[in-house]
Every structure is written in C-alpha cells, then in structure tokens.
Structure 1
C-alpha cells in the first residue's frame, strides 16, 4: 500500500510540475508585452498573436497527446513535452522579429499541448472517485502558481536584465524539471489501461467522442470559459499599465494576487465538488456566471485600490471551473478513454484561448476601450453557463 501511494505521489507530482512549467513558459510573455512589443515593433494584435500562436501549437497536440497518454502512460508524454517546451522557450530570447518569434511560440505550445491529458490521467488512475475532484484541484494549483511566478519573475528579470532574460530563465526552469521527471517518474505504470486503450483506433475513438452529446456540450462550454480566461491573462497586465497607470512591476504584483486567488480557490472548490459529486455541473455553472460578472467589473474599474479585492476574485473565477469540469469530463467516458477525452475537450477549449487574445487586441486597436475588450471576454463564460444548462446528466461517478 505504501509503495502504491508513493508511486501515485511521484506521478501526480511530476504532472503538477510539468503543468507548472507550461504556465510559466506561456505566461512569461504578457507581463513584458509593453517592453518587448516596443523593441520588436509589434502592434497590439501582433503582440496578442504571440499568445495565440502558443495556443495554436497547444491545440494541435491535445487529442494526439491524450491518445498517447492512454496507450503509453504519463512518463513518455510528460518527458517529451518538458523537453520541447524548454528548448523553444529559451529560443524566444534570441528572436529578432515577428515571424521568428511567433514560430517559436507556436513550437513551445506544440510541446506543451499533451501535458494536461497526461497529468489528468495520472490523477484519475491513482485517486479514487471519492477524492478525485480535490486531487484534481490540488494538481491544478500548478496553473495559478505558474501564473503567480511568471508575473513576479518575468517583469522583475526584464526590468533588471532585459525582457529576453525572462525567457532564458523560464526555459531553464523547464529543462531542470525535465531532468527531475526523468529521474523520478516510474518507468512502468498503467500497463493494463494501456492495453485496453490500444484495442480501438483513432476512427472509433473519435466516433465515441463525437456521439457523446453531453461530452460535446461540456467541450463547447469549456471553449467559452477559456475565451474569458486567456483573454484576461493576455491583456490584464497591459490594462493595468496603460489604463490605470501602474508600472510593469506593480501590474505583475497585482496579477500575482490574481494567481493567489486561483491557487487557494481550486482545491477548496474541488473539495466542495467531492462533497456534492452529483452536482458538479451545477457547480461549474455558478462559477462561470460569477466569472462573467467579475470580468465586466474588472474592465469597468478605474480605482487602483479596488484591484486588491478584484484581482484575487477574478483569479478564482478564471481558474476554479477547471478541476470541476475536468473531473466531470472523466466521469462522462469509459475509464480507458479518460486521457483521450481530456485531450479532445481541452483541444476544443483551447480554440477559445487561440481566438480571444487577438479578438481583444483588435477591439483595443480599433476603440482603445479596455471596458469594451473585457465586456467581449465576459460574453464567453455566460454562453458556457447556457451550454452546461443543456447537459442532461450530472455524470456517472465510477470507482477506479
């Protein structure tokens, strides 16, 4: 029993670390947009395009990464992901223009795309249904912690050593995580599940996904939820810097509060979701409605003092739906397809991440209104609430 617990701890910890690095790598860009965009001569839409390029690469590896995780387990998928993320994040420090930079961001996203499905598989395979949402919430604290670290380290390093040094640091952290995961991840795990998953080909697995009505509605809801999250993460720093007059470092510190709200909120909401396992869908709807209201309030706010309250609440709203919806998805499919379903749904979710930064940037280029940009972002979670209301089931809670 102790050995089984230690194996679970190693798998989940490495998934947590890989997802942390994924967030540090992707979120080192927004805090230094004003500095880097000026040097590289980028418009607001082009600067937002750097985030969209990351998510395009991230999107393309969602489903293949999930399928590989179902067949091979977490180790190979996480190691390949960490190596690619680290190399191409470091490469951004050497970029000289828009085309080269956007290509490197695409490749870093391509390396990052399989991390979530592989890590969620580790949680699902090693944690019982009674504690799964809380475990998912603890695992997903890596996302806001990555946000917090990126918003502290990136502007701090950029102000002292230049914005390129931020990417040298982020990529080096990721390669260090690769070395650690290589040493401690178990080499043989989940063999029974790999064998079961291998009996079906891509055509049949896709058919299973596409004909699952509730899964498709949940995937669409996640698209609109992520629309709000990643549009906010791309433009919140610039809003506070240009719209409210904060320095880059002060904006980063405020976004650290945003991350802190999500960091605390995810395991708490996961724990509550486990207490009411038959109401995960309704929990997600309440969270997303709360998120939409906070987005509008954030864009409307002109008082710096209110950011101390708004930032952590908005951070919680932007992230805590993740553990609830990911656990809900895992309960809508057969056990052998969990990673594939997570990859499939997250792939659809990331289309929202791909489109929203550029869309908000275009609104800013045309109107100069941050309220308009954040109002557009708030529409996403409202639509997500409507889609979840159409889901017919509250999930099938199964044992491992």
Structure 2
C-alpha cells in the first residue's frame, strides 16, 4: 500500500509540475525526461535491496509517468484544432485505457513465463525506446492555431525549444491561483471530475469485483466484467468525440455522461431488488458506466478549457490541465476510501447504488450552476437577477 501510495503521490506532483514545464521548455523535452525517469525507476527494481529502495524506484517511475502524461495533454492542446480538441483528448483517453488493459496482462504473462526480472528488463527497454522515439518523431515546432479551422500545416509555427525566451510562457505559479479562483472551474471539478474518478476507482475497481464474487462469480469473471468498461470506451470513443466537437455543448456532454455512469452503478442493486441480479446485470452496469465515462471525460477537458478561456484570455493551458489532473486524482484517492466506508454498513451492490446516486446529484448541481449563469460572470448574473427583474 505504501509503495502504491508513493507512485500515486509522485505522479500527482509531477502532473502539476510537468504541465507548466511542458509549456516552458517544450513537450519534447518533458516527454524525453519523463520516459527516461520511468525507465530508471523500473530498472531500479532490479537492484532494490529493501523497502526503501523499492519505494524510491516506484516513486521515480510515478514521477516520470506524470511528466509524460502532462506533456501528452499539452501536446494535444497545442496541436489539435479548436474544433477537434475533444477528439484529440478522446484518442488520448482511449490509449490510456488500452494501456491499462494490456499492460498488466502482458506483464503478468512475461513474469509467469520468463520471471519477474525479465519482465522488468522488458519494461525498462520499452520505456527507453519510447524516450528515443520522442526525440526522433515529436516536432519542436508548435503551431499557432488562431482559429477553429487552423491546422499545423497552414499555421505559423514557433520553435518551442530554440526560442524559449521569446515565445514560451514564463514559469509563473500564480497561473494556478487564477485557475483555482475561477468558480465555474471549481464547480466543474467538484461536481463532475472528482465524482468520475471516485466512481472509477471506488465503484468499478473496488466494489464491482466484490459484487461479482458476491453473486457467485470467480476472479476471472471479475476481470471479464471490468474488461467491458475498456471495450465500451474503445468502441465508442471514435464515434462520440467527433459528435462532441460538432455539437459543442460540452456541459451537456459532461452532465449526460456523468448521469449515465451513475445510473449504471445504481442498476445492480435495483435489479437485485427485483430478483433479477447476476453477472449479466453487472456486465450491463459496467458497459453503461463505460458509455458514461466515454461521453463525459474527453468533453470535460474541452469544457474546462472553455470556461477558463472565457474567464481570462491569457489563461495558461498548462495551469488548467495541471490543476485539473491534480484535483481529479484526489477523486481517485477518495473513491476507495468512500467505498470502504460504505462497505462497513452495506453490501457492495448497495454501496454502488449510493455512490451512483451521489454522483447523479452532484451532476445536477454542476449542470444547474452552468444553466443558471450561462456564459456570464457569476457576479454579473447575480446583479442582473437582483436589479433587472
């Protein structure tokens, strides 16, 4: 547990730091250093002699992972056309989910067939190769996408590494303060982003396997049920994200997605009450949850960028994305804690239902806030309501 906490804490910090550094020094450099740090951290497990060295190696791997994650977000934001931003982040989301499905499976097979040391060597080599590929194929040039139809091919470009002083934003930590003082951003984080991650880690990854076992399933059945989540994302992401970019009501995409995900987790207890529970119901619930996450998560980033840019045209994308990922990961930490607390007084199905209902209620609050104020500043909208009606 402490080793996993070290990985998560390191990645939490590096996502925040890496988002600003990627804007300051260029995504290619941050990609490279992140991949190298991950490779060194993985290799460190081979020489680890005790708990302290394992914790250090795992934390170093997590820090590198966070840098790569942050650089990928900045790269997409810099290179995707404004009317394709959701599609870009949707591809990123689908790739991350694919890696989360394939990575443990491949690592387990290698460790079982060749031994743990061989699996670690293979992971180190892959991380090192990715660092080399970053330097070879990621361009130093950043397109200046001045409108929704701008593309990297026809837009003016700037050298993100060679002309840092003249073009890249300075490393100003007050950019995070500007983001945190944006009420609409924080409402979206509390009502949409944190519940989404809490449902994923606490609901799907913790409670759903317990519900499968409670319904008579095995560990392999749990894996099959959870795999339905990844399948839903991989199948629907290429379809839904272009629709979100075409119909740019990002707040509705996020709200509907959160609602569907919450309803998916309410489903097992509801059907169990009707005497129709079982593995099929849990599979359907997981598919619904995956559909909801596919609708909401890629659109969340576009929505947060939209509300931040309306608040201030000079808002740093690195600060927005870094703050988003930092706070979102707090939801990943809270999810298992909330789920464990609910299990003290309820069954897994009941705990899933309670978490799903809470997510739907928070979604309603977040959507209501946006519908109440629209694109106006909150203070202006309140004054208009008090003095003009």
Query: TM-score with structure 2 length normalisation?
Result: 0.74
1:243 aligns with 2:214: yes
Q: In 1, distance between residues paired with 2:320 and 2:256?
A: 24
Alignment equivalent of 1:295, drawn from 226, 244, 265:
265
1:341 aligns with 2:320: yes
Alignment equivalent of 2:305, drawn from 330, 334, 344:
330
**Could you tell me whether the CA contact under 8 Å between 2:253 and 2:299 is conserved in 1?**
yes
Higher-Rg structure is 2
Kindly report the root-mean-square deviation, in angstroms, between the aligned alpha carbons of the 2 structures: 3.5
Structure 1 unaligned spans of 5+: 1-45, 396-400
Q: In 2, distance between residues paired with 1:171 and 1:206?
A: 34
Q: Name the CA shift for 1:225/1:242 in 2 (closer, same or farther; >3 Å).
A: same
- Give the alignment of 1:312-327 within 5 angstroms: 312-327=287-302
Report SS of the residue matched to 1:186: coil
Q: Name the CA shift for 1:354/1:74 in 2 (closer, same or farther; >3 Å).
A: same
Report SS of the residue matched to 1:340: helix
Q: In 2, distance between residues paired with 1:52 and 1:383?
A: 27
Q: Name the CA shift for 1:75/1:283 in 2 (closer, same or farther; >3 Å).
A: same
Equivalent residue number for residue 136 of structure 1: 89
Alignment equivalent of 1:215, drawn from 185, 189, 193:
185
CA-CA distance at 1:95 after TM superposition: 7.0
Alignment equivalent of 2:198, drawn from 194, 209, 227:
227
Equivalent residue number for residue 390 of structure 1: 369
Q: Which is worse superposed, 378-387 or 339-348?
A: 378-387
Q: Name the CA shift for 1:368/1:111 in 2 (closer, same or farther; >3 Å).
A: farther
Number of residue pairs matched by the alignment: 346
Q: In 2, distance between residues paired with 1:361 and 1:96?
A: 33
1:66 aligns with 2:19: yes
CA-CA distance at 1:230 after TM superposition: 2.4
Q: Name the CA shift for 1:211/1:363 in 2 (closer, same or farther; >3 Å).
A: closer
Structure 2 unaligned spans of 5+: 144-157, 377-389
**Could you tell me whether the CA contact under 8 Å between 2:7 and 2:62 is conserved in 1?**
yes
Query: TM-score with structure 1 length normalisation?
Result: 0.73
Q: How far does the alpha carbon of each residue in 1:301-359 deviate from its partner, in whole angstroms, 9 at most, with x for none?
A: 65123344333332232344221011122223246611221111111111111222344
Q: How far does the alpha carbon of each residue in 1:113-157 deviate from its partner, in whole angstroms, 9 at most, with x for none?
A: 233432222222222222222222123211221232135435545
Which structure exhibits the higher relative contact order, with contacts defined as CA atoms closer than 8 Å and separated by 6 or more residues? 1
